[in-house]
Chain A
Amino acid sequence: MRRVWLLAALAAASLHCGREDDAPPDPNVQDVDLDGVVRAQDCNDADGSRWQRLPGHRDADGDGVAGTTVTQVCAGAALPSGWFEAGSDCDDADPARWRLSQAYLDADGDGHGAEPAGENCRGDALPPGWVDAADDCDPLNTYAWAELPYTYRDADHDGATVASFGVVCSGTALPWGYGTEPLGDDCDDASAAVFARTDAFVDADRDGRGGAAGTVCAGVSLPAGWSALGGDCDDANPVAYELTSAYRDADGDGRGAELDAVCAAGPWGTLPAGWTSTPGDCDDADRYRLQLLSYYYVDRDGDGHTPWEYGTICAGTYLPSPYLSSPGGRGTADCDDADAAVWLAMSGYVDADEDGAGEGATVALCTTGSLPSGYLASAGDCAVGDATRWRAYAYTLRDADGDGRYVSESGSVCYGLAFPAGYAGTSSLPPDCDDADRDAYVSVVGYVDADRDEVGAGPPETFCTAGALPADRVAAGTDCAAEDASRWQTLAYAGSDADGDGYTTRVGGSVCAGTALPAPYRATIAGNDCEDTTTSLWRWVVLYPDADGDGVGAPPREITCLGEAIPAGYSEQGWDSNDLDPGVQVLAGEEDPLAAIEP
């Protein structure tokens, strides 16, 4: 190859040099590539390895087998590489396919083909989707290509098989629904829902409870019309399947009287007509009376007054008239429940004399709410048959003589419109001292006044008069001299002045007197008369002997009863320090006592 390129280069250089020298080279002579074939005949004078045209088949896909198309190829002594004298490649664009053969289409890709056969461009191996054998029993099923024998079928795919022999187009194993080992014993291989024979009860009414026992092909659950529960007491009635205790309800009022067994939908289900779970029908022949109701009040006369009465009655939902559970709006008092006109029990008193006050014993009456005419609520007519008097007055004071003064007397007096005179409960006046004499009503105390000095004496006497004492009596009874008209009172005195000198002795006491104290008594004392028998002596005087006659005496003192004058040789002064010397009264050195407070 390297040599070819060298020759080509030399030829080119030769051409270039010649072109400069003379005319163009003659193709019939020129052999540029020096392959021994002139250019005019050389199909490629630039390539010394190729000079002639040969028919050839090109192996375009390089699989070693050329295609069927013949092409004139510029070649040397032989066809160049990639070209062949003969060609049979049925697909020269695919190096994997070069020959034609019969093959079978594997449409489902399971590696097995099926009729009809077809020509196929292939290499060593068939292209995908084609196989050499037509052994696929199910060309369109990837998972089935070979027929395998089976001895059991599960056509309904419920997991239970039935004995069945045959072959089935399969894959590596029998398909689902086929097997060589039994699985149960499918009683109905056409339905996946059922697969086992099961003991059950025929449930004709489809109420979940069966009646007659039997066997049914069933699955997980029993098929319709069958039930695992038996005992349906009425398999023709879907709402009745169990015997239940209930009460016969003949009148259809929802309450029964007689307990019995009935085929029904369980103890809590709906009972058939004519039965009820509610007992207590007190009258099963009357649908409007079904229960005993308690009543506490009755209003038989319909007047709205409902007396208390307890009882029970067979009734409907509510108590029938006239029975009530609560009192009527007019209360519970009805003394006559057979008469709507009267209702209130009252007691009254006959007022025969029509004076407004009842009389006699209490009379029980059934009234319209008030006492009828001729009867009164209160009694107390103190004068039966007398219309002018009917009420009693309890008095504690009595004024029989009509003088306005009362005496204590208790009692009762019957009267009418006017208050009875002479009777009272209180009085602000003193009591009557004589209630038989209207001129005597005041008790006064008097004393005998024998000397007529208007002050009596003796024991007190009480007189019942109009207020005045009898003429010979006085109110005061302190006359200290009952027979002496000049003296009637006791006066106190503090002293006595018997000698009339104006000075009294200190003698206290009292004396029966008139308007004033008699002599010598005095109400107040005056001095201290030391001698009350003579007017010249009336006082006690402290005297001191005055020996030197200087007017100042010296102790010892003397207390003497004197009059005005001081006897000679005495003095009321007693502080003479030297009573023997009229010139000396105060000794030398004696201090004046007042000097102590001299400023």
Chain B
Amino acid sequence: MKRFVRAVAAVSAMLWSGAALAQTAPTVATTSFVAIDAVTVDHSTLAVTGVIEGEPAAVTREFHFAFTNYSSTHPYEQRQSCERLALLAMSKPGQYVFKVTVESYRWDYPSCSLARATP
């Protein structure tokens, strides 16, 4: 548990480093994967295939990472962080919920989080 909290904290620190730059309340779209079947990456895209919470079938969602003014983190590093969290979720089916949050005004800079399905 302790390790989990630290992991979530570390990733959150990277993912939310640009949050201070937010100027208006974002419209947030969060995709929560309760089961991940595949993770595909290229240089700026993370494609996750899995079961989204509450859905009856697996789907594939693509998330794009690009340079942005809202974070000093390199978009590829951001994508790699998300990729690791997705792989963790895929390695322990049902243990974690992998969430990808995309804000409306910075859609090309998704933030990712990993949480235990049953805390």
Contacts of A256 in B (CB 8 A): none
A528 within 8 A of B: yes
Q: Is A594 within 8 A of B7, CB to CB?
A: yes
Contact with B along A559-589 (1 / 0, CB 8 A): 1010000000001111100000000000000
| Residue from the list A544, A594, A595 in contact with B93, Cβ < 8 A | A544
B85 CB to nearest chain A CB (Å): 10
B74 CB to nearest chain A CB (Å): 18
A575 to B88, CA, bound (A): 11
Contacts of B34 in A (CB 8 A): 542
Contact with B along A521-549 (1 / 0, CB 8 A): 00000011010000000011010100000
Q: Is A574 within 8 A of B7, CB to CB?
A: no
Q: Given A540-B55, A542-B34, A542-B35 in contact, is the A571-B3 Cβ separation under 8 Å?
A: no
B10 within 8 A of A: yes
Contact with A along B49-60 (1 / 0, CB 8 A): 001001111000
Q: Which residue on B lies nearest to A543, using beta carbons?
A: B94
Contacts of A539 in B (CB 8 A): 54
Q: Which residue on B lies nearest to A597, using beta carbons?
A: B7
A99 within 8 A of B: no
Contacts of B4 in A (CB 8 A): 594
| Residue from the list A574, A593, A599 in contact with B88, Cβ < 8 A | A593
A540 CB to nearest chain B CB (Å): 5
A296 CB to nearest chain B CB (Å): 86
Q: Is B94 within 8 A of A575, CB to CB?
A: yes
Contacts of B92 in A (CB 8 A): 575, 593
B117 within 8 A of A: yes
Contact with A along B1-44 (1 / 0, CB 8 A): 00110110010000000000000000000000011000000000
B118 within 8 A of A: yes
Q: Given A559-B56, A597-B7, A597-B10 in contact, is the A573-B95 Cβ separation under 8 Å?
A: yes
Contacts of A552 in B (CB 8 A): 94
A287 within 8 A of B: no
Q: Which residue on A lies nearest to B88, using beta carbons?
A: A593
Q: Is B56 within 8 A of A572, CB to CB?
A: no
A558 CB to nearest chain B CB (Å): 11
Q: Given A530-B56, A559-B56, A559-B57 in contact, is the A542-B6 Cβ separation under 8 Å?
A: no
Q: Is A594 within 8 A of B3, CB to CB?
A: yes
Q: Which residue on B lies nearest to A528, using beta carbons?
A: B54
B58 CB to nearest chain A CB (Å): 8
A456 within 8 A of B: no
B interface, over-half SS: mixed
The size class of the interface chain B forms with chain A is 20 to 34
Contacts of B95 in A (CB 8 A): 573, 575
Q: Which of B56-92 contact A (CB under 8 A)?
A: 56-57, 84, 87-88, 91-92
B38 CB to nearest chain A CB (Å): 13
Q: Which of A9-46 contact B (CB under 8 A)?
A: none
| Residue from the list B55, B56, B88, B94 in contact with A573, Cβ < 8 A | B94
A23 CB to nearest chain B CB (Å): 186
Contacts of A597 in B (CB 8 A): 3, 6-7, 10
Contacts of A593 in B (CB 8 A): 87-88, 91-92
A553 within 8 A of B: yes
A411 CB to nearest chain B CB (Å): 59
Q: Is B93 within 8 A of A557, CB to CB?
A: yes
A527 to B55, CA, bound (A): 9
A119 within 8 A of B: no
Contacts of A542 in B (CB 8 A): 34-35, 51, 94
A420 to B86, CA, bound (A): 86
| Residue from the list B3, B54, B91, B117 in contact with A598, Cβ < 8 A | B3
A575 to B89, CA, bound (A): 10
Q: Is B94 within 8 A of A553, CB to CB?
A: yes
Contacts of A527 in B (CB 8 A): 54
Q: Given A539-B54, A544-B93 in contact, is the A572-B6 Cβ separation under 8 Å?
A: no
A360 within 8 A of B: no
A561 to B6, CA, bound (A): 35
A574 to B36, CA, bound (A): 11
Contacts of A555 in B (CB 8 A): 93
A567 CB to nearest chain B CB (Å): 15
Q: Which residue on A lies nearest to B7, using beta carbons?
A: A597
B96 CB to nearest chain A CB (Å): 9
Contacts of B3 in A (CB 8 A): 592, 594-595, 597-598
A553 CB to nearest chain B CB (Å): 7
A527 to B6, CA, bound (A): 30
Q: Given A572-B117, A594-B4 in contact, is the A540-B54 Cβ separation under 8 Å?
A: yes
A540 to B32, CA, bound (A): 14
Q: Is A559 within 8 A of B51, CB to CB?
A: yes
A594 to B88, CA, bound (A): 8
Q: Is A572 within 8 A of B118, CB to CB?
A: yes
Q: Which residue on A lies nearest to B10, using beta carbons?
A: A597
A271 CB to nearest chain B CB (Å): 112
Q: Is B56 within 8 A of A544, CB to CB?
A: no
B113 CB to nearest chain A CB (Å): 14
Most central of B4, B51, B57 by chain A CB within 10 Å: B51
Q: Is A575 within 8 A of B56, CB to CB?
A: no
A539 to B34, CA, bound (A): 13
Contacts of B10 in A (CB 8 A): 597
A557 to B95, CA, bound (A): 13
A192 to B92, CA, bound (A): 167
A129 to B113, CA, bound (A): 172
Q: Given A593-B88, A597-B10 in contact, is the A575-B54 Cβ separation under 8 Å?
A: no
Q: Sample 7 A-B pairs with CB under 8 A, ordered by A number.
A: A540-B55, A557-B93, A559-B56, A573-B117, A594-B4, A594-B7, A598-B3
Give B residues with C-beta under 8 Å from A.
3-4, 6-7, 10, 34-35, 51, 54-57, 84, 87-88, 91-95, 117-118
